[in-house]
């Protein structure tokens, strides 16, 4: 059955709520951590892993579930992903021990890892080309919304108990499973080749090694940290497996990540841009520290000073999506990167004031929201075939995550080398500003074609 204008709205609502549910659980757990620590006796490292396991599981699960959705259909993998997220939430609600909490959080992250790339692929499958940018922009706005709603919703539900932060996921997951099975396209590959289990396992170990190694880095002392047994063996495993994985994928009948993706110039450019913007996005976690050092405010006040930038991100993402539909993705990427460059240099160069801090956040927010919502994912949709659409979206997620993992390490290393404080953090953002300029130059290679008006090639159930 072809997707029609009449059933696009319920599909959009389904995808929006699913991505919001997954994004919220990244932000909502923060307010619950003190209560969980008091009940289960977590030390600070254990609490960090309770947060990080969700991110790591998301990183590892994304390419695998994205590939499975290309093979077996969006409907099945979306429903299984939501079900996994719901099961993880239930384990967290009933958890009797630290180990159960960590397991539930991991299962949650694995479930969430299939929701976003499948949502983006569904938009490519079912929406006409002239509406894909706007739809992707709406999905992108979810993350700004989750950042705002997470702490507020967490504060409300914590009045009952921390378990309610995860109980709320259960009825939402049941509804998403029901409507996902009813609304989403179910057609998969006609004659799929044997699944690339070897590539999938090697990729999982590779990503896990790199992620754990980078996560364990002590940004205050990078040199000594690299010699630690909690860092270098994991990084070594990831680096050694990278060429092995590439060789496996070149020989696989149906690789998890097609080497041909990297033969396409537009996809290569998008991956470079994604890694760069992911680095800058994650580095913003140090902005409160800059505000505390430079403006002599409390940490809570510094967090409030970031809210204008978050509001901007929430509203700009859908606007940028509609602009992609009208003007094409290439020009929007370039304009957005210009905003990122300007915003980061506002943090890096002038003497920090409340105006430069908030203004830099709003300018950078415009750029990051415009980039992460629609245009990069739109280019991937256009440059990949329907049979590889989710896999390509999963690859984009990996490069974003690589950048995000690198951002904190870069800022920490540069800030420490400059003695910390205002000078250290501004030096870090100066380095990021130079990175943003390089990425902007890279973006000049993107096509600046206006979108065509036609239905997508695949929109059947």
DSSP per position, 435-457:
HHHHHHHHHTTS--PPPP----S
Q: What pLDDT sits at residue 2?
A: 43
> Does the structure show a pLDDT above 70 at 412?
yes
Q: What pLDDT sits at residue 160?
A: 85
> Does the structure show a pLDDT above 50 at 1?
no
A 10 A CB-CB count for 376 gives 29
Mean pLDDT of 427-433: 93
Protein fold of 1-185: Growth Hormone; Chain: A; (1.20.1250)
Q: To the nearest whole percent, how much of the chain has pLDDT over 90?
A: 41
Domains 1-185 and 257-461 share a fold: yes
The candidate with the shortest Cα–Cα distance to 281, out of 310, 251, 244, 238, is 310
Q: Which CATH class is domain 257-461?
A: mainly alpha
> Does the structure show a pLDDT above 80 at 45?
no
> Does the structure show a pLDDT above 60 at 42?
yes
Domain residue extents for the chain: 1-185, 197-253, 257-461
Show the DSSP H helices in 95-128 as ranges.
98-126
* Close Cβ partners of 368 (under 8 Å, ≥ 6 residues apart): 277, 280, 281, 313, 336, 340
Mean pLDDT of 144-159: 76
Token pair belonging to 84 = 């996994």
Residue listed under structure tokens 């809210």 = 307
The candidate with the shortest Cα–Cα distance to 339, out of 317, 324, 321, 361, is 361
| 39 vs 27: CA distance, rounded Å | 20
Helix (H) or strand (E) holding 224: helix 222-226
> Does the structure show a pLDDT above 60 at 182?
yes
Q: Which of helix, strand or coil describes residue 273? A: helix
Predicted TM-score (pTM) of this structure: 0.84
| 333 vs 6: CA distance, rounded Å | 31
* 298 conformational bin, left if phi > 0, alpha if psi -120 to 50, beta if neither: beta
Confidence band, pLDDT 50/70/90 cuts, at residue 461? very low
**Which has the minimum average pLDDT: 33-37, 281-285, 431-435, 449-453?**
449-453
């Amino acid at each position: 059955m072809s997707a029609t204008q009449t059933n696009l709205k319920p599909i959009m609502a389904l995808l929006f709520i699913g991505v919001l549910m997954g994004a919220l659980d990244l932000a909502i757990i923060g307010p619950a951590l003190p209560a969980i620590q008091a009940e289960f006796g977590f030390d600070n490292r254990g609490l960090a892993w309770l947060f990080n396991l969700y991110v790591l599981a998301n990183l590892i699960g994304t390419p695998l579930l994205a590939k499975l959705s290309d093979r077996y259909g969006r409907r099945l993998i979306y429903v299984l992903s939501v079900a996994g997220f719901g099961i993880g939430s239930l384990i967290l609600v009933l958890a009797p021990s630290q180990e159960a909490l960590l397991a539930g959080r991991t299962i949650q992250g694995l479930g969430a890892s299939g929701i976003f790339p499948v949502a983006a692929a569904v938009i490519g499958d079912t929406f006409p080309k002239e509406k894909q940018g706007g739809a992707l922009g709406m999905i992108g706005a979810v993350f700004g919304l989750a950042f705002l709603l997470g702490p507020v919703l967490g504060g409300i539900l914590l009045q009952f108990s921390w378990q309610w932060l995860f109980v709320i996921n259960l009825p939402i997951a049941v509804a998403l499973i029901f409507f996902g099975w009813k609304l989403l396209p179910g057609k998969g590959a006609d004659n799929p080749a044997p699944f690339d289990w070897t590539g999938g396992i090697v990729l999982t170990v590779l990503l896990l090694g790199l992620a754990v190694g980078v996560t364990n880095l002590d940004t205050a002392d990078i040199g000594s940290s690299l010699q630690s047994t909690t860092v270098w063996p994991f990084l070594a495993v990831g680096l050694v497996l990278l060429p092995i994985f590439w060789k496996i994928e070149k020989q696989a009948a149906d690789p998890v990540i097609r080497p041909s993706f990297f033969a396409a110039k537009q996809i290569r450019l998008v991956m470079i841009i994604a890694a760069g913007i992911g680095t800058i996005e994650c580095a913003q976690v140090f902005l409160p520290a800059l505000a505390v050092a430079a403006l002599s405010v409390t940490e809570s006040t510094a967090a409030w000073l970031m809210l204008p930038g978050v509001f901007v991100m929430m509203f700009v993402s859908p606007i940028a999506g509609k602009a992609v539909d009208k003007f094409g993705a290439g020009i929007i990427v370039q304009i957005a990167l210009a905003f990122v460059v300007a915003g980061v240099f506002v943090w890096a160069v002038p003497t920090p004031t409340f105006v430069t801090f908030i203004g830099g956040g709003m300018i950078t927010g415009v750029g990051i929201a415009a980039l992460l919502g629609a245009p990069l994912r739109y280019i991937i949709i256009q440059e990949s075939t329907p049979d590889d659409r989710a896999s390509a979206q999963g690859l984009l997620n990996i490069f974003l995550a690589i950048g995000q993992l690198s951002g904190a390490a870069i800022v920490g290393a540069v800030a420490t080398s400059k003695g910390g404080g205002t000078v250290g953090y501004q030096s870090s953002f100066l380095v990021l500003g130079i990175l943003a300029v390089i990425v902007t130059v890279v973006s000049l290679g993107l096509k600046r074609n206006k979108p065509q008006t036609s239905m997508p090639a695949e929109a059947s159930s």
